[in-house]
Structure 1
Amino acid sequence: MTDRTAAITAYWDAASAAFDDEPDHGMRAAPTRAAWARRLRSWMPPGPADVLDIGCGTGSMSLLVAGSGHRVTGVDLAPRMIERALAKFGAAGLEGRFLVGDAMAPPTGDGRFDVVLARHLVWTLPDPEAALREWVARLRPGGRLVLVEGRWREAGQSGVPYVAGAASLPWNGGIGAEDLAAAVRPLVSALRVEPLSGDPDLWGGEVDDERYALIAGL
């Protein structure tokens, strides 16, 4: 593990205890949970699918996906995030596989998935375009890439600065929909962008920055 990877792991491990305090992270409020569940149902294929949730955090998105009958594999760099995700699944009586690993190269071997899902992740990556290629390569023919992204005023948790050197990350602070679509379009056969800023239930209140979902298919 490099010093940088160790620092990033330590950052997210430390953030795990309060991570779910953010309305859209913990989804503790019924309207927020229901709003995300509706969106996820619309982005997932019909019938049980194999879904890879990269940067799964404490597993809130994974839990909603599994609750709709899909088979979930979650990956996160931070062991404490994975511990919390496992606890959520155990409490809900749902099955899911969770792995500690790097989003740039998820440790799923030769496994292929019907959906690769990532939320609020690409800004943290040292080479996001390489990660996108890797994620698309994990999809089966006809699979879907679902990215929930945007540009935020605070990229860190609760205003705490992100790890040293974050300013040099290519997409530090997020990426706009047009730019992300331009990066993804050569890798897929179809793509659409769904604005999310106008749905306050998703975020626990009104927001005025750019938030969206990009849904792409092979």
Structure 2
Amino acid sequence: MSVSGGRIAGMETVDPAAVSSYWDAAAPTFDEEADHGLRDPSVRAAWAGRLRAWMPPAPADVLDLGCGTGSLSLLLAEQGHRPVGVDLSPVMVEHACRKLSAAGHAFTAVAGDASDPPASVGSSFDVVLVRHLLWTLPEPGLALRRWLGLLRPGGRLVLVEGHWHAHEGPPYVPGSESLPWLGGVTAERLAGSLRPLVREVDVEPLPDPDLWGGPIDDERYAVIARP
């Protein structure tokens, strides 16, 4: 997970410490969601297939931003890639490192702001992979530009996103009601934000219930952008 602590004019600042604490608390049960833990064989196989289609030939250096408990990084490692993870939640990072280590894979993950990744993870990747993170960001457009700047020539930005139901109830952290893409972003809007920055944008709808552990009634998709 991630958040930038900068203030947008007229909006309340989202405190990164509050966001980190929120996801720290969520980490112990995070993998209980079918598309988080990928414990169901059909869900796991569906995600493995999508990743295989989106990635270049192995081995590729992949930056998994908002890596959570490392489920996608584990699939990438199993496919012969070299994932590196970033998540704002130290507890999520601990879970990710344990998960990959238990499976016998070397893995580096650091606690930090995925919208502006720490220099310690590197600055040159074949793929930047981001799943369900943009809704947490005060400045998603700035994050997109930063992520594109981390790609090697011929690299690709893979964004797994969605446009969910309108947010209801109290903010998940103070100030989060001001987030521009709270509740997700449509594929049309995200692709439109990327087109001035890259030479190619592909949108792939993701309605397959096996990816999510059951049927969905909202918009889920992947965007693959190539500078």
Same structural fold, with TM-score higher than 0.5 when normalized by the shorter chain: yes
Q: How far does residue 72 in structure 1 lie from its aligned partner after superposition?
A: 0.7
Aligned length: 215
Would you say 1:211 and 2:215 are equivalent positions?
Answer: no
- Give the letter for the 1:204 counterpart: G
- In structure 1, what is the equivalent of residue 93 of structure 2? 82
Change over 3 Å in CA distance of 1:95–1:175 after alignment to 2? same
- Give the letter for the 1:12 counterpart: W
Q: Give the percent of matched residue pairs that are identical in Structure 1 and Structure 2.
A: 60
- Give the letter for the 1:43 counterpart: W
* Counterpart Cα distance in 1 of 2:166 and 2:111: 26
Greater CA drift, 78-87 or 100-109:
100-109
- In structure 1, what is the equivalent of residue 17 of structure 2? 6
Change over 3 Å in CA distance of 1:154–1:60 after alignment to 2? farther
1:1-218 matches, cutoff 5 A: 4-109=15-120, 111-153=123-165, 161-197=171-207, 199-218=208-227
Partners of 1:146 and 1:216 within 8 A in 2 = yes
Greater CA drift, 185-194 or 25-34:
185-194
TM-score, with length taken from structure 2: 0.90
Q: 1:73-123 deviations in whole A, cap 9, x for unaligned?
A: 100000000000001001100111101110121013552000000000000
Partners of 2:101 and 2:107 within 8 A in 1 = no
TM-score, with length taken from structure 1: 0.94
- Give the letter for the 2:211 counterpart: L
Structure 1: give runs of 5+ residues left out of the alignment. Answer: none
Greater CA drift, 107-116 or 34-43:
107-116
* Counterpart Cα distance in 1 of 2:38 and 2:128: 21
The RMSD of aligned alpha carbons is 1.8
Change over 3 Å in CA distance of 1:64–1:53 after alignment to 2? same
